[in-house]
Amino acid sequence: RSNTMWGGRYKLGPAEIMEKINASIGFDRRLYAQDIAGSVAHCDMLVAQGILTAKDGRAIKRGLAQVKAEIESGKFKFSTKLEDIHFNVEQRLTDIIGPAGGRLHTARSRNDQIALDVRLWVRDTIDKVELMLRDLQAALIDRADQYSSTIMPGFTHLQTAQPITFGHHLMAYVEMFGRDRSRFADCRARLNESPLGAAALAGSPHPIDPRKTAKALGFERPMANSLDAVSDRDYVIEFISAASTTAVHLSRLSEEIVIWCSAPFRFISLSDAFTTGSSIMPQKRNPDAAELTRAKVGRIVGAFVALCTILKGLPLTYGKDMQEDKEPLFDAADSLELGIAAMTGMIRDLKANPERMRAVASADYSVATDLADWLVRKVGLPFRQAHHVTGRLVGIAADKGIDLDKLSLEEMQAVEPKIDRSVYRVLTVEASVNARKSLGGTAPANVVRAVADARRRFLDK
């Protein structure tokens, strides 16, 4: 039997494989709420414009409400024969209210309908992700507050560089996730135009008012060009691009958590709630959540590549290729949400090991730069020369297997006679971090201020 939707022209039904490759209901059923919200707005507009009678409009809205309730209660029977969410909803609507159901699709096509549904879905998802990122920032800020003066080694090349504070390190991620939030906000602002009214591609001969549907659905305005309206998926690319950047940040923080949890580091520990054991090695506590969050970026960047590849070279306007946007989009969004939630959980769960962090921060001549800076400030050496003098002192200490502050004054003066006793004051990790009060620097006093600033900048709105 031919499809009821285009049965006029068709005598035969589709081949089995045609139905299989064509059907999207398996995944686009996730758009049911957006699809029905769009239909309600479209129906109201048709009534207001005198295209539908008020009576039909009421029946349609009643029917749509019932369809929605059936889907939400799990009673709805989705059919692959009906291809996608649009036909499934429309068919059920007509079953419930009769032929008036067939009037809903006046001045509309599945092309502007799907463009609308995906736009609404991405917008809803952005709103959710925004809140989740804010929550993650709140968790990081709380931790930074707690560990504002906890000293740890700062690394470059993963080699001990200079002492920093754990709070300062965590606040770096607060900034990253803040930029991520603003990228999502930018994407939201740009996507917030309604494609409804474009119909199949060229617009509609009916006296429709796209401004009405746009307003009803919370859009800034209708899209200016009908061809663009049905073929634009920029906002999907943009969303996944913002998701990719966020996933990169999550991955970097995850990697640090994995490193910090490892036995050679022992900077932090995660509780039973965020680790798993091994089936063979009884002593193991593996940071699986961090590892999985570290890996999610693969799927998300994969989705970005998929979307760009699907859309590249696609002639205007709609092509069924575009149906392939949904699975990568959904997967990217799901992966992102999972990653953010897991990270928020880990940040709230983790416990630092300040003694261990301080011990590692004190080793490996991490205060060498402080000595060089002291030589510049107190002795008046040019920085290059101070660097050289310090390098020699580090060499002497390393040969003896001792820290810089264990060198005697005589040993130091043998290299640079103008060194005096006050040098020892800068050779501790506490002095090192306390001295770094320059704007954006790691000093505990700065972290306390950064925490207060961040609460205002990121959490008060």
Q: Establish if 318 lies at the interface with ligand ARG (CB under 6 A).
A: yes
Q: Annotated catalytic residue: which of 2, 79, 262, 278?
A: 278
Cα distance between residue 98 and residue 423, in whole Å: 90
* Cβ–Cβ under 8 Å, residues 115 and 29: no
Phi, psi (deg, nearest 5) at residue 23: -70, 135
CA distances from 121 to 29, 118, 163 (A): 12, 5, 45
Stretch that binds ligand ARG, among 1-9, 292-300, 317-325, 448-456 (CB under 6 A): 317-325
Token pair listed for 138? 């709140």
Q: Establish if 231 lies at the interface with ligand ARG (CB under 6 A).
A: no
Q: Establish if 114 lies at the interface with ligand ARG (CB under 6 A).
A: yes
Q: Establish if 24 lies at the interface with ligand ARG (CB under 6 A).
A: yes
Tokens 């000595």 locate to 371
Residue 168 is a catalytic residue: no
Residues 45-104 that bind ligand ARG (CB under 6 A): 84
DSSP code of 202?
T
Stretch that binds ligand ARG, among 48-56, 106-114, 210-218, 425-433 (CB under 6 A): 106-114
Which residues on adjacent β-strands are paired with residue 193?
221
Q: Establish if 110 lies at the interface with ligand ARG (CB under 6 A).
A: yes
Residue 279 is a catalytic residue: no
Supply the minimum distance, in Å, between the C-beta of residue 223 and ligand ARG.
17
Cα distance between residue 258 and residue 269, in whole Å: 10
**How many other C-beta atoms can be found within 10 angstroms of the C-beta atom of residue 30?**
17
Stretch that binds ligand ARG, among 210-218, 286-294, 314-322, 333-341 (CB under 6 A): 314-322
Which stretch of DSSP H or E encloses residue 250? helix 234-261
Q: Establish if 323 lies at the interface with ligand ARG (CB under 6 A).
A: yes
Token pair listed for 292? 């999985």
Stretch that binds ligand ARG, among 108-116, 140-148, 280-288, 398-406 (CB under 6 A): 108-116
Q: In the complex with ligand ARG, which residue's Cβ is closer, 32 or 267?
A: 32
Supply the minimum distance, in Å, between the C-beta of residue 230 and ligand ARG.
9
Q: What is the DSSP string of 126-162?
A: HHHHHHHHHHHHHHHHHHHHHTTT-EEEEEETTEEEE
3-state helix, strand, coil in the chain (%, to 5): 65, 5, 30
Supply the minimum distance, in Å, between the C-beta of residue 35 and ligand ARG.
10
Supply the minimum distance, in Å, between the C-beta of residue 124 and ligand ARG.
17
Q: How many residues bind ligand ARG (CB under 6 A)?
A: 10
If you count DSSP H runs as helices and E runs as strands, how many of each does the chain have, helices first? Answer: 18, 6
Q: In the complex with ligand ARG, which residue's Cβ is closer, 111 or 241?
A: 111
Stretch that binds ligand ARG, among 4-12, 110-118, 255-263, 355-363 (CB under 6 A): 110-118
CB-based burial of residue 248 (10 Å sphere; 0-12 exposed, 13-18 middle, 19+ buried)? middle
Q: Establish if 404 lies at the interface with ligand ARG (CB under 6 A).
A: no
Q: Annotated catalytic residue: which of 73, 148, 157, 271?
A: 157
Q: In the complex with ligand ARG, which residue's Cβ is closer, 130 or 234?
A: 234
Which residues on adjacent β-strands are paired with residue 222?
194
Q: Exactly one of 39, 111, 246, 362 binds ligand ARG (CB under 6 A); which one?
A: 111
* Cβ–Cβ under 8 Å, residues 212 and 237: no
Site for ligand ARG, rule CB under 6 A? 24, 28, 84, 110-111, 114, 318, 320, 322-323
Any idea which residues carry the catalytic annotation? 157, 278
